[in-house]
Structure formats: C-alpha cells, structure tokens
Structure 1
Amino acid sequence: MFAEHVQPTRAEQKRRTTARVTEAAARLFREHGFHGTTVRQIAAEAGVSVGAVMAVGDKESLLSLVYDDAIAARIPPPPAAGSTTSAAGYLARYFDPFLDLFAGNEELARAYFRALTRGRPENAALGGLRTLAENNLTAALVNTGMPEDRARLGAQVMFAGYLGELVLLAAGTTDFRQAAARIRRTAAFVTSHERP
C-alpha cells in the first residue's frame, strides 16, 4: 500500500511557523533579555527567514505573543458551584499566576507592560484575556449566590484593578508583593460590598 504524502495547507504552515518563531523568541528573550535579542537571532533560532519572523510580528509583538501564551496557560478555571473555595479567595488569587510570571523576569515584564500600553492592534489578545478573566470571575461570584449583574460588575472591577497594577509595575512605582496585596484588598471589597 502506498502512503500518501499530504502537503500541509498554507494555514497549517503559517501556524507552524508562528509557533516556531514564538518558541524561539521566548527562549532568546529568557536567555538574552528583550533588548539583547534581535529579529535576526530569532530567525536563526527558529530556522526561518527574517521576513518570516516579521510576518509573525516585530520584536515587541513577539514578546506580546510569548506573554499572551504564557498567561493563557495559567488561567485558573472558576470553582464549581458548591465548591469550598470562597469567591474572595478565588478572586484574590486569580491573578497570582500572572504576577508570578511577571516577577520571574522583571525586564521582560516591563517591556511587555510597555507594549500593552501602546494599544497596538496586535495586543488584541488582551481583549481576549479580559473576556476570559471577567467570565471566570463572574462565574465564581455567581456560584456563591451573587446576582449576575453585580457579579459581572465585580469581575470588571477586578480586571480593571489588575490592569492598573500592571501600569504601576511598568512605571516602577510598586512591586509585585504590593500589587498582589492591593488585588487581594480589591477582591475583599468586591465580595463584601453590599449593593446600594
């Protein structure tokens, strides 16, 4: 029997190239830092041309992709209805994996925060993260008996607080420990504040 060799589709080739470029960028950023890594090095590490790297994105866009993938892999699911995890505890610790990721390499984290604040179109993943985070946080609050509209507002407050902490971290006016403490206080406020 003959084995049929199937050529990958263009979309599949593009996905594979994007994955190779992103993985190479992640390794080089960790080893050499953001400023110490060049697009040429990323191309060589990924085994593709500089043009192929630029088709995925410039260096700042690649850093955003690296962080977006790392953040997406760390998103904790909401506790199930009837879980012993309190809403305040879940909300307070929801962003801990992200803060831990950022604390692991402050130079890269600051470069990522700067990229976020530029509001470039390739930062659209932030919108996806916001939607996912707000949906998870809303579900956690609803599972404890909070009305849906209040839970949604509480989730929005939590995500806005998290983004505010990222801005303060990028500016160097706070540290990760202080950011985590403020996020916990916001979670306590959101879960205990009575509706007017």
Structure 2
Amino acid sequence: MVSEHVQSRSGKRQKTEDRIIGAAAELFLKHGFKATTIRAIAKAAEVSVGRVMSVGDKDVILVRCFDRWIGQLQNGTYTPPARRTSLSRRGTDTGVTTGPPRPSSAVQRHLLELFLPFLEFFAEHEDLSRDYAAAMMRVKGKPEVFNALAVDLQSRLSESLASIGINEDHARASAAALYDSYLGILFRWAATTMSLDDAVEAMLASIVFHTRVRSSL
C-alpha cells in the first residue's frame, strides 16, 4: 500500500512537471524567452510559482523544453516548419553547380535528412535558440541532448555509416564526431550571423568527410 501511494504521488508529480514544461514551451514559442515570466508559466500551467520553481529557473525550464522538442523531432512526433525548396532539393538533379557541397550518395542524403529538422527548427525559432545556447552554458547538470537523445541519434548515424561498409568501430567514432559537429554548428550559429544555408553547408561538409574518408579505411 505504501509503495502504491508513493508511486501515485510520483506519477502526479511527473504529470504536473510535464504540464509545466508544456505550458512553458507554448509561451516561449509565442512570446520568446525574455518576455515569458515564471509567473506566466505558473498561470498557464495552473500551479503555484513555487511549484514552477521546484522544476527549475527559466534557464533550466528552457533547456527542458528543448529536450522535449528535440526528442519529438527525433521520434517524429513534432511537425517541423515546411521545408524550403532550396533545402529539400539539395542533392537532387537541379542542374545547380554552385553553392555548398551536395550529397553524392543515398547515405549522405539520409544523414543530412536526419539533421535537417533540428537545423530548420533552430532557424524557425532563431532568437529562442540563441537563448537556449546561452542557457546551456549556465545550467548545471546533463541535459538529455548530451544523454539519451545523443545515444539515440548517434545509434541511427552509426547504423547508416555501417550500411556503406564502414566497420563498426569507425562508424561509432564518426557518428559521435558528426553529433559533435552538429552541436558545434548550433553553438556557432548562436554566436554569429550564420544562416540556415551556412549551417546546412557546414553539416553536409562534415557528413561528406566522414562518409568519404572512413569508407576507405
């Protein structure tokens, strides 16, 4: 009985936290990070300010929101903005010979497709994403983007690399390097005037390097 009571309280607490993060996510997307207050989050979630603060300050909550969005992007439950034609047609027979490198294989195209939703989400919510990058520098702990989410995406990357004949050890190493490249691009984007096209170019260049160089080892 005691155990069931503890589990019930734990479940209710988790549901309340989920409601708080959901409310914050909607407010951040609608009003931005700076204009959203803890009090507004509490009101939207129908909880006390103290209950919101028990989850964390605004930095922690923003990081939790991005963990949620990234997780939804990875598992396909988040619908990203409509992809621009210039991006969706990269690597196809467009006849365009200038611009960033283009995927030269199905695997390169597949790897780029894995990263595009995240890059496009960042571009769609650029100011909020810059606040996220800054919050990541201030928050202590280990966000899911460095934990379970990283493991999941790197596993997908590794499987794709192994499918073209790269041995498992090199595939895992390249998957980790590609993931680090992706995070590095996001942080560089947050600190500079990098555009979405620039970010895609940088990501694709890393993909091309790892698929071409590693495949010969």
TM-score range with shorter-chain normalisation?
0.7 to 0.9
Q: Which residue of 1 aligns with 2:153?
A: 133
- For residues 23-77 of structure 1, the C-alpha deviation after alignment (integer angstroms, 9 at most, x for no partner) is 1101111221100010011001100011111111211111111111111111169
Contact in 1 for aligned 2:60/2:139 (Cα 8 Å): no
Identity of aligned residues (%): 34
Write out per-residue CA displacement over residues 81-132 of structure 1, whole angstroms, 9 at most, x where no aligned residue.
xxxx822112222211111111111111101111223352152443222222
Query: What residue is the counterpart of 2:53 in the other structure?
Result: 54
Compute the RMSD of aligned alpha carbons: 2.1
In the alignment, the residues of structure 1 paired with residue 137 and residue 128 of structure 2 have an alpha-carbon distance, to the nearest angstrom, of 14
Counterpart code for 2:8? T
Residue in structure 1 matched with residue 183 of structure 2 by the alignment: 163
- Structure 1 residue runs of 4 or more that deviate by more than 6 Å after TM superposition: none
Structure 1 residue aligned with 2:87: none
Maintained 8 Å contact 2:59/2:139: no
Counterpart CA distance in 2 for 1:28 and 1:54 is: 16
- Aligned pair count reads 184
Alignment-derived partner of residue 147 in structure 1: 167
Conserved in 2, the CA contact under 8 Å of 1:102 and 1:109? Answer: yes
What is the alpha-carbon distance in structure 2 between the residues aligned to residue 125 and residue 58 of structure 1? 19
Please name the residue that 1:118 is paired with: 138
Residue ranges of structure 2 left out of the alignment (5+ in a row): 77-104
- Name structure 1 gaps, 5 residues minimum: 1-5, 78-84
* TM-score normalized with structure 2 length: 0.78
Distance 2:22 2:144 in 1: 20
